[in-house]
Amino acid sequence: MATETIPATRSAAAGAAARPRVAGLAPEWLLAIPFLAPALFFYAVFLLAPLLGTLALSVTDWSGFNIADIEFVGLDNFRALGADSVFWQSLQHNLFFLVGSVILKTTVALALALALDQNLPFSNVFRGVYLMPTVISLVVVGIVFTLVLSPSLGLINPFLEAIGLGQLAGAWLGDPDLALPIVIAIDVWHGFGLYMFLFISRLIAIPQDLHDAAFVDGANGWQDILHITLPLMKSMVAMVILLASIEALKLFSIVYVMTKGGPNHATEVLSTWAYFQAFTANNVGYGSAILVVLLAITFVLAYIQVTRFQVQEEI
């Protein structure tokens, strides 16, 4: 860590020194406009504007039927969150899901990337297979696994009985203790392949002479991975963690398709609870407030990760 901060500081100093010169040369913002305009236009109109709308709604009381009925209530919605036990439960589930899915996706993807990098025959075939789930729509994945897991008609229980593990047969999604871990497992099933590929792409970019030098120095395979490969993977790990965390906090589709937050809120997360409040319970303002909390959490988390990630980037 200590060795990393030095170049970062140096480059920051260089940037500060270069700044007045560049600023004095040309109106660069003018040159930037045509490049930025299209992206900024669509971003501002179709993402930022509705987002501001949601922020505005979060300080209102509105049933969502008639725009004339909107009532400004200040921070009442946010105060009400404190007493909403389902909100806290959902927040917990979000964090559990975040930690679970990010750790699993990252470690599974990294481990497989390393394993598939060992130049064993058929590695390509396995790589292709592992990427497959990512291509499939989450709606499809959700429905297929609902059918697979169905205790009455699905595959899992008869399968367990067939291999003599009948005592493990369970209610799966119907078991409040298992429902959320199952959702995590399915999310990992769907998503690890892509991250594995990102790791593989970084592995390939490591010059072979670094490995060779390590082996010349008498390192074995493990030591090579530990001392040469992994340190070079750091920034990619950071990137994967960032992407996986953002994806995890946005979690909605799988829950919506498989359980709608049930049974009895066992898989409820902030986005589904906000959805219920806004679209079923006539509380558009309150639902928006829940989403604002979710956005704030995501933003803080991503901000920390992005700023850290960028610092490493510049080395």
Partner 1 sequence: MLNRRRHHVSVLLLGAIALLLPLLAAPAQLSAAQEASPEAVQASGEVSLWTEFTQGGEGAGIEELVETWNAMGNGITVSHRPIGNEEFFTVIRTALAGGEPPDLLQYEGYQQTRDFAAAEQLTDLTDLWETARDGFLLSEAGERACTYEGRIYCIPYTYHTGFQIYYNPEILEANGIEVPQTWDEFTAAMDTLKAAGVTPIALGAIDGWPAEHWWMAFLVQRCGVETIYDAIEQDGAAFTDDCFVQAAADLQALAQNGYLSPGATGEDYPTAQAVFLSGQAAFFQTGSWFASGWEQTPPSFDVGIMPFPRFADAEFGEDVTGAVTHVFAIPTGAQNPEAAMDVLEWMTTEEAGAIWARNGNMSLIDGAVEGNAPEVIQELWATVGDANAALPWIENELPPGVGEDRVYSGSVALLTGEMTPEQFGQSIQEALEASA
Partner 2 sequence: MQRSNTIKGLVLYPVFLLLAAAILYPLVWMIYSSFKDNPAIFANVFALPSSLYLGNYVTVFTEGAMGLYFRNSLLISVVSVAGLLVFSSLAAYAFATFRFRGSTPLFMILLLGLMVPPQALIISGFKLMSILNLLDTYWALIFTYFGWTSFGILVLRNFFQAVPRDVKDAARVDGAGHWQMFSQIMLPLARPSLSTIAIFYFMWVWNEFIYPLVYMQTPEKYTIPLGVLFFNGRYTIEWGLQMAALAVATVVPLLVYYVFQKQFIRGILAGALKG
Residues that bind partner 1 (CB under 8 A): 8, 11-12, 14-16, 19, 52-53, 55-56, 59-60, 63-70, 72, 86, 146, 149-153, 157, 169, 171-176, 179, 259-260, 262-265, 275-284, 299, 307, 311, 314
Closest to partner 2 by CB, 176 or 298:
298
- In the list partner 2, partner 1, none, the entry touching 120 (Cβ below 5 to 8 angstroms by class) is partner 2
- In the list partner 1, partner 2, none, the entry touching 172 (Cβ below 5 to 8 angstroms by class) is partner 1
Q: Give yes or no for a contact between 284 and 290, defined as CB atoms under 8 angstroms apart.
A: no
| φ/ψ of residue 71, rounded to 5 | -125, 130
Told to check if 1 binds partner 2 by CB under 8 A, we report no
Told to check if 54 binds partner 2 by CB under 8 A, we report yes
Told to check if 299 binds partner 2 by CB under 8 A, we report yes
Told to check if 72 binds partner 2 by CB under 8 A, we report no
CB of 300: closest distance to partner 1 in angstroms?
A: 11
Q: Site for partner 2 (CB under 8 A): which residue of 17, 38, 164, 167?
A: 38
Told to check if 16 binds partner 2 by CB under 8 A, we report no
Q: Site for partner 2 (CB under 8 A): which residue of 13, 147, 213, 304?
A: 147
Told to check if 221 binds partner 2 by CB under 8 A, we report yes
What is the Cα–Cα distance from 54 to 240, expressed in whole angstroms?
Answer: 29
CB of 11: closest distance to partner 2 in angstroms?
A: 11
- In the list partner 1, partner 2, none, the entry touching 135 (Cβ below 5 to 8 angstroms by class) is partner 2
Distances (CA, A) of 82 to 204, 288, 290: 50, 15, 11
Q: Where are the beta strands (DSSP E) in the chain?
A: 60-61, 71-72
Q: Give yes or no for a contact between 278 and 207, defined as CB atoms under 8 angstroms apart.
A: no
Cα three-residue angle 146-148-150, rounded to 5 degrees: 65
Closest to partner 2 by CB, 169 or 306:
306
* Site stretch for partner 2 (CB under 8 A), options 75-83, 92-100, 120-128, 164-172: 120-128
Tell which positions 232-251 bind partner 2, by CB under 8 A.
233-236, 238-239, 246, 249-250
Tell which positions 152-181 bind partner 2, by CB under 8 A.
153-155, 158-159
Told to check if 315 binds partner 2 by CB under 8 A, we report no
According to DSSP, residue 72 is labeled: E
Question: Which tokens hold the place of 283?
Answer: 């509380």
What is the Cα–Cα distance from 274 to 278, expressed in whole angstroms?
Answer: 6
Pairing relation of β-strands 71-72 and 60-61?
antiparallel
**b/e per residue, 177-204, with b = 16+ CB within 10 A?**
ebbbebbbebbbbbbbbbbbbbbbebbe
- In the list partner 1, partner 2, none, the entry touching 103 (Cβ below 5 to 8 angstroms by class) is none
Query: What residues contact residue 136 under an 8 Å CB cut-off, 6+ apart?
Result: 190
Told to check if 46 binds partner 2 by CB under 8 A, we report yes
* Site stretch for partner 2 (CB under 8 A), options 2-10, 40-48, 72-80, 85-93: 40-48
Distances (CA, A) of 271 to 103, 154, 249, 260: 21, 28, 9, 11
**Exposure on the CB side of residue 67, measured as CA atoms within 13 A:** 2
Told to check if 313 binds partner 2 by CB under 8 A, we report yes
